[in-house]
Every structure is written in C-alpha cells, then in structure tokens.
Amino acid sequence: MKIKYDLLDTCGRARLGKLHTNYGSYDTPMFMPVGTQATVKTLSPEELKECNSGVILSNTYHLWLRPGEDIVDKAGGLHKFMNYDGPILTDSGGFQVFSLAHNKKKDIVEEGVHFKSHLDGRKLFLTPELSIQIQNKLDSDIAMSFDECIPFPVDYEYAKASTERTLRWAKRGKAVHSNPNQSLFGIVQGSSYADLREYSAKETVKMDFDGYSIGGTSVGEDKETMYKMVDDAIKFLPEDKPRYLMGVGDPIDIIEGVIRGVDMFDCVLPTRLARHGNAFTRNGKINIKNLKFKEDFTPIEDGCDCYACKHYTKAYIRHLITADETFGARLLSIHNIRFLIRLVEELRVAIKDKTLLEYREEFLKNYLGDKYESNK
Amino acid sequence: MKIKYDLLDTCGRARLGKLHTNYGSYDTPMFMPVGTQATVKTLSPEELKECNSGVILSNTYHLWLRPGEDIVDKAGGLHKFMNYDGPILTDSGGFQVFSLAHNKKKDIVEEGVHFKSHLDGRKLFLTPELSIQIQNKLDSDIAMSFDECIPFPVDYEYAKASTERTLRWAKRGKAVHSNPNQSLFGIVQGSSYADLREYSAKETVKMDFDGYSIGGTSVGEDKETMYKMVDDAIKFLPEDKPRYLMGVGDPIDIIEGVIRGVDMFDCVLPTRLARHGNAFTRNGKINIKNLKFKEDFTPIEDGCDCYACKHYTKAYIRHLITADETFGARLLSIHNIRFLIRLVEELRVAIKDKTLLEYREEFLKNYLGDKYESNK
C-alpha cells in the first residue's frame, strides 16, 4: 500500500502525526537512521528496533553500484535482503552523484547526469527514470524523485534553471514509477531564493506526490539560511502529506525543523560521529577519547535508556575506541541514534503539551552551555 | 571460589566433564572465544551467550598495555568492565611477548623478559610475578602461569633449559598469587621432546595447580608433531583437573585434542577468519567473497542455528564484506564461534554415546571432501 499520514495535533506550525506504512504505523516527527549500503553501520536490525527506530534510509546510488538492484530484487527486496521488517526509504541517488562522483566531476544534461563511479572511476549515467526503476526494484516503502542538489551559494539564474529541470525530472520519474507498494516523494529545490522555493513547492505539489521533501539544505549554507529555506518551502506544502527535511541530524536543526513543521529527518551524523569517538549528550557533544574519561566509570549520559548506557562505562568505551575495536563504534552508534530518537520522542510530547518553545530553550541551555544565548 | 572439575564420562581417553566456576557450571570439552582487548572482536556479550559460550579468554599483555590493569581493577574487575557475566580466563602474556614484541626482539633472563611494546616501542619488562599480579587485578576466574613459549624447531639443550626455567617461573608466580576467587593453571612445555614433556608435566603437577595447560603448540610444527606433544604431556596430568590446549581452534585439531583427553580450547581463528570473509562449514571453509555466492540466497550453512544463518544469506553477507561493512564480520564471527561451540557440543554427545571415532570419520569425510583419506 501507499503510506498514509494522519495529522493528530499541532503546536504553532509543529505537527504531531502518524505515518502508516506497509510495515506498521509510526509517530512523527521521526528521526530515520541511515543504512547507506543496506546496513546501518555496525548495527543489527534488532538494535535499531531497540532504539525505537521507525523508517530507516538506504542509498540508491550505493546499492545500484553494489550489490546491484537486481540482486536485491532476487533476494526478495531490500527488507528481506537486509532483514529489516520496518519501513525503508530510499533516496534517489541525486545527492551522492553530486557529492561522491569521482573527482566531483559530473556533466548535467537534460536527460540526466554523466559521472564516474567513486569506487572504480567507471562511467555512469543516472536519469530520473533509472533512479525510479532502481528504487522500484529495491522495493523500499518510500522512493524519492531524482533531483539536482544545488550547491550553495549559487547565482539566481543557475538556481532557476536547475529548479525547473528538477521539476521536469520529477515528472519523468513519476511517469515511470510502477511499484504499487511504494510511495513516491517529490523534492522542493530553489536554493536560498524565496520565490524559487515557492515556485518549486507549488509546482511539485501540483504533481500530487505521497509526501514532500525539502532538498538542497546542509550544503554549506549557514543555519539561518537553512531555516529560511525550510520556511520558504514548507508554507506551500499540503497539511495532509508528510514533510521530510533531507540530510539533517544535528539536534538543534531537528528542533528548529520540527518547530517549522517538518515531520521526518535523516542523517549519517550519529553513526559517523560514533566512528570518530563522538557522542551526543544533553550537555553537548563529547569525544570519548578525551583523557578525562580514562577512569570515568559512569555511562555516556546519565538517564539515557540505550543499551550502551545501561551496560557500559565511558572508560570501557574509551578503551574500545582507543584500541580500534569496532564494538566501541557500535556502542556509540546505538547511543547516538537513540539520542536523536529520544529527542523526537520528547518533541512529540512537547507538541502535545504545547510546550515546544520552552523545550527548545531548555534544550539549548543544556546543550550549548556557556555558548547559550536566549533565542528570543 | 576456585574452579572445580567433575569427570562425568569417558570414551577412550576423551573426557566428558563439568567445570564449576564463579559464573556458573559449564560442560567440557569446551571452546573458548578470545576477547583479546576485553572484547571478542565485533561481538556483544549477549551474542556470545547466544552462541552458548562458557569461558571466554582475554589477554593480559594487551590489557596491561591498554587500558592498564589498574583501570580494570577500579572498574570492578574484567567482568564488570566488559559486561561479561560468564567465566573469564586470562593468559599470562607470555605468548604475546614472544609473538608480538616490537621487531620480535626480546631478551630472556632468569628474572623475566625484556622487550619492547608492539604499540609504541616503549621498553617493558615482564616477570612471572608481575604477570600474576596483573591477572590478580584483572580478577579473571582462571589465571595462567607465565611461561616461555618455545619456538619450533629448537635444539634439545635450549628446550631443556627453557623448560626448567618455565618450571621456576611457575613456582615464583604461584608464590605471589593472592586472589582467592581466581584459579591458577600450570603450563607444560618441553617442545617436541617426549622426555622433556614428561619431566615438565610431572614437575608442574607436583606444584598442585587448579588445572593444566599444554603450551608450545601451534608454533610452526606439523600436525602429527602437535598431536604427539599432546600425547606426551597429557598422560602425566591428573584425572581430576581440567586440561587446556592453548591457541588451538582448527576444527580437526579440536577433535584430535578431545580424543586425546583435552577439555578446553581457545583460538582467535573464528573471529580472524571472519574479518577476512571466511566461514567454517561442515563441508570445509568457504570464502564468502567468492563470486559464486553473489546470488546465493541460502544461509552460510544449512542447518546451522546461529543468528547469522537464521536471518541472513550468503549474498547479503558477501555484499557486506565486499563493501567493508563491519556488520559482515560480525555475522561471520557469530557463525564461526557458534560453529566451534556446536562442534564441542556434538563431541560431548559422541563421548557419551561412545561414538567419538565414528564422529571424527564422518566429520573428516565432510570437511575434507576429496582430500579425505581414512585415518585408520
């Protein structure tokens, strides 16, 4: 079936909702862990569920290159291939083409994008149709339209031409989309130009997608610009469809996104930070390799209910990371993912209780510490 | 408490027994997974338990260098530090000094061994007393005497002098051993010389340890020599104490060891093989990276009850290993450890059923395939 979104409550523009999928119903706002290559780095599906994960992400570009969509298809689809019985969203490959292509060189033409594989330099050509066809085969629950992720800053003329092309690509992708169990999201582009965001949002909505994504953020712009991109796009999106802010996983950005009406977030940040020994805490990020944790026999974060915090100390995890033992990255990944999922759980309560702005203030005060200045 | 060993049944020289420890009672023969740096690489303690692990191993040399025995002590001992509530055996550091020392250079004197750290080249000096004191602090359930692991081949005079020194070292270590909850094993050396093995075994037994280990195997000798080393030592070991063959984890060697009366085995082989994409199966080792597994949607091994075989296919694990995703090594580690633990489980049944030699023949036929020739 296609996904269905129920709006249950609001607090300002923030939305409490429920997303019904082929693999159960999940509360929104939600944070979606990223399983780039059909695995959320170092974790098992059971560990993700224990973190209370709902939708997880996987990357079309990576799976296209390796193992190839036909193998995933023959395995019975991505859920069966990777043993995840929750909903899966696949991105379009667009972002990876722009960020990972060999030497970052690519040639964008009307038909699609010519570029070289980041693995072996082999020439590749990805089109809106091919992206959708690959995603159809992967059999994810939610597929994304193929778009151009515009770099920042970019001049108005380029942004306008690219935004229009992304609309044409969205139409072409939608036309070939054929998996009845897969929903398809449109992506709003337009860089930092309010009129282009409005235009892109309105034209994308006209095509009637199952959900809408705000793209082209987290590409080098400052925070205020990013929040404005969200503001400029989101007001033209329909109330009855989920809104997804792509690639955003900084805790403060998630809070700001939720306040602006975003329902879904994804980011590699929690697992990437973990591999470098970093952990989120309510009092800001810490690096577990710091000498001061050498004899710290307390959990990563007091009060955290994750597996890592329930059973292990900072001193032990520091030892593992220092000794290059992957169980260390695994424990930090569990903690960081659970941290962001707990954050959205608390944001949902705050929406219901109409205390979202107070929640933000309290969170920022703890998270930024001395750097905190009232946002008001 | 000290460990206690009950001999329950025999089949030829093979022994079915029970080892009572501070952390429960476990059947022998047993295979002990190795957690070099206070973690069995890629795995959680819960996953080890799911593999039906009993005793696990950790390495004194590694923990001495990093994080240091004082930190483990302050954490409440190794069990608490690494969250393993089963029994733990620590080796003496002797083997690592001989195999890992910087540039393999070391200077053996009566007092102990001078060598340099494999991590940073720093000068170190390990003595029988220090090894025991470190192990006392680590608070493992079973500690090992500090011995010289004699290389192979070696001339008789050197082997004799070294074997005698190891006896003196065993005595010195035992004299300072002070942890009332920790058992201490003696180690039989003597290289490939039957009279030295006899001498070493008898003299070590005179010191009355809680168990006995056969050392100096798997150091380059051929299989027949190794089995003879076991034969030459084991006949002088008491019936009422466990016998441990150090560093042995090849399935065939485990079977041959059990037939000769060995109760305990350990090896890094299952996890090391896993990291390189190798898996044990009843029909011999396979490398999952092999192209023929690209579209193989069957488990690593039909009939295996491990987590990896219950939920994942060769095609998926091949994808993970090829894409350098650590979840792949984790799945193969689980399978390989479970494979060896299932092997000893079956050997225990065969001892009880008095069908051990038939079991060996059947196993070898499947495992070696075309290379099989009857051992009879």
Q: Categorize the per-residue pLDDT at A97 as very low, low, confident or very high, splitting at 50, 70 and 90.
A: confident
CB pairs under 8 A between A and B: 99
Contact criterion met (CB below 8 Å) for A144 and A89: yes
Q: Any CB–CB contact under 8 A between B294 and chain A?
A: yes
User: Comparing C-alpha atoms, which of A151, A152, A150, A356 is closest to residue A254?
Assistant: A356
Q: Determine the Cα–Cα distance for residues A124 and A338; give it in Å rounded to an integer.
A: 37
Of A44, A316, A326, the CB nearest to B75: A316
Cα separation, A283 vs A370, whole angstroms: 10
Active-site hit among B147, B232, B250, B266: B266
Residue for token pair 């973990």: A274
CB contact under 8 A, B38 and A319: yes
Active-site residue B91, yes or no? yes
pLDDT in tens, B87-108: 999 999 988 887 877 667 889 9
B149-202 pLDDT tens trace: 888 999 999 999 999 999 999 999 999 999 999 999 999 999 999 999 999 999
Residue entry with tokens 């299932």? B342
Q: What b/e sequence results for A133-145 when a residue is b if at least 16 CB atoms lie within 10 Å of its CB, and e otherwise? A: bbbbbbbbbbbbb
- Of B71, B76, B328, which has the smallest distance from its Cβ to A295's Cβ? B71
Mean per-residue pLDDT for B107-114? Answer: 95
Q: Is B314 on the interface with A (CB under 8 A)?
A: no
**What sign results for the dihedral spanned by CA atoms A251, A257, A261, A264?**
negative
What is the 3-class SS of chain A, one letter each residue? CCCEEEEEEEECCEEEEEEEECCEEEEECEEEEECCCCCCCCCCHHHHHHCCCCCEEECHHHHHHCCCHHHHHHCCCHHHHHCCCCCEEECCCHHHHHHHCHHHCEEECCCCEEEECCCCCCEEEECHHHHHHHHHHHCCCEEECCCCCCCCCCCHHHHHHHHHHHHHHHHHHHHHCCCCCCEEEEEECCCCCHHHHHHHHHHHHHCCCCEEEECCCCCCCCHHHHHHHHHHHHCCCCCCCCEEECCCCCHHHHHHHHHCCCCEEEECHHHHHHHCCEECCCCCCEECCCHHHCCCCCCCCCCCCCHHHHHCCHHHHHHHHHCCCHHHHHHHHHHHHHHHHHHHHHHHHHHHCCCHHHHHHHHHHHHHHHHCCCCC
Residue whose token pair is 């309105």: A202
AA letter at A222: D
pLDDT digits (tens, 9 = 90+) for A275-300: 999 999 999 999 999 999 999 999 99
| Residue percentage of chain B with pLDDT more than 70 | 98
Query: Which pLDDT score, from 0 to 100, does residue B132 have?
Result: 98
Phi, psi values for residue B134, rounded to 5°: -60, -45
Side-by-side strand order, sheet with A264-267: A30-33, A264-267, A243-245, A211-214, A183-188, A142-144, A88-90, A56-58
On chain B, the residues whose CB falls within 8 A of the CB of A312 are 83
For B321, the token pair is: 């290993």
Instruction: Identify the residue among B39, B272, B300, B318 best suited for mutation to test binding to A, counting A beta carbons within 10 A and taking the highest.
Output: B39
**Would the CB atoms of A67 and B322 count as touching at under 8 Å?**
yes
Instruction: Return the residue of B nearest to A40 by Cα.
Output: B327
Of A145, A266, A259, which Cα lies nearest the Cα of A209? A145
Determine the pLDDT at residue B106. Answer: 86
Buried residues in A69-79 as b, exposed as e (16+ CB within 10 A): bebbbbbebbb
What whole-number distance in Å separates Cα of residue B372 and Cα of residue A371?
A: 71
List the single range of A43-47, A151-155, A311-315 with lowest mean pLDDT: A151-155
Amino acid at B22: N
Which among B66, B83, B322 has the least Cβ separation from residue A323?
B66
pLDDT digits (tens, 9 = 90+) for B64-78: 999 999 999 999 999
State percent of chain A over pLDDT 90: 93
| Residue written as token pair 């994960």 | A53
Does B318 contact A at CB distance below 8 Å?
yes
Angle at A353 between CA A349 and CA A358, to 5 degrees: 90
User: Do B145 and B169 contact (CB within 8 A), yes or no?
Assistant: yes
Contacts of A327 in chain B (CB under 8 A): 39, 41-44
Answer yes or no: are the C-beta atoms of A312 and B83 closer than 8 Å: yes
Bridge partners, residue A6, by sequence? A18
Closest by Cα among A196, A170, A174, A193 to A183: A174
The reply to whether omega before A87 is within 30° of 0 (cis) is no
Contacts of A315 in chain B (CB under 8 A): 67, 71, 75, 81
pLDDT for res B374 = 56
- Element (H or E) spanning B88, and its range? strand B88-90
Cis peptide before B45 (omega within 30 of 0): no
User: What is the distance between the alpha carbons of residues A146 and A91, in angstroms, rounded to a whole number?
Assistant: 8
- A322 and B67: CB-CB below 8 Å? yes
Pairing of strands B14-21, B24-28: antiparallel
The position carrying tokens 């689809």 is A77
Q: Which amino acid is at A331?
A: L
Answer yes or no: do A41 and B325 touch at CB < 8 A. yes
DSSP class per residue in B97-114:
HHHHSGGG-EEE-SS-EE
B37 close contact with A: CB closer than 8 A: yes
Q: Is B158 on the interface with A (CB under 8 A)?
A: no
Query: Do residues A309 and A299 make contact, with C-beta atoms less than 8 angstroms apart?
Result: yes
Q: What CA–CA distance (Å, rounded) separates B244 from B231?
A: 13
pLDDT (0 to 100) of residue A374: 56
The stretch A134-139 carries a mean pLDDT of: 98
- Using DSSP's 3-state secondary structure scheme, residue B152 falls into coil
B122 touches chain A (CB under 8 A): no
- B107 closest CA partner among B132, B124, B131: B124
pLDDT over 80 (residue B141): yes
The per-residue pLDDT for A100 is 77
At B285, which helix (H) or strand (E)?
Answer: none
Query: For the ranges A28-32, A118-122, A171-175, which has the lowest average pLDDT?
Result: A118-122
Task: Give the catalytic positions of A in this structure.
Answer: 91, 266
| pTM given for the model | 0.97
* CB proximity B238 to A under 8 Å: no
- Single-letter code of the amino acid located at A156: Y
Distance CA A42, CA A40 (A): 6
User: What letter does residue B123 receive in the DSSP assignment?
Assistant: E
B376: pLDDT strictly greater than 60: no
Q: Give chain B positions within 8 Å (CB) of A48.
A: none
Query: Across residues A70-94, what is the average pLDDT?
Result: 97
Residue of A nearest to B325 (CA): A41
Please name the residue of chain B whose CA is at the shortest distance from the CA of residue A325: B41
Split at pLDDT 50, 70, 90, the class of A98 is confident
Predicted confidence (pLDDT) per residue in A192-204, tens digit: 999 999 999 999 9
Provide DSSP, B201-231: HHHHHHT--SEEEE-S-SSS--HHHHHHHHH
B84: Cα separation from own chain's centroid: 17
CB under 8 Å to A104, separation ≥6 — which residues? none
State the Cα–Cα distance between residues B60 and B91, nearest whole angstrom: 6
Residue with tokens 């093979």, as numbered in its chain: B14
Q: How many Å separate Cα B296 from the centre of its chain?
A: 33
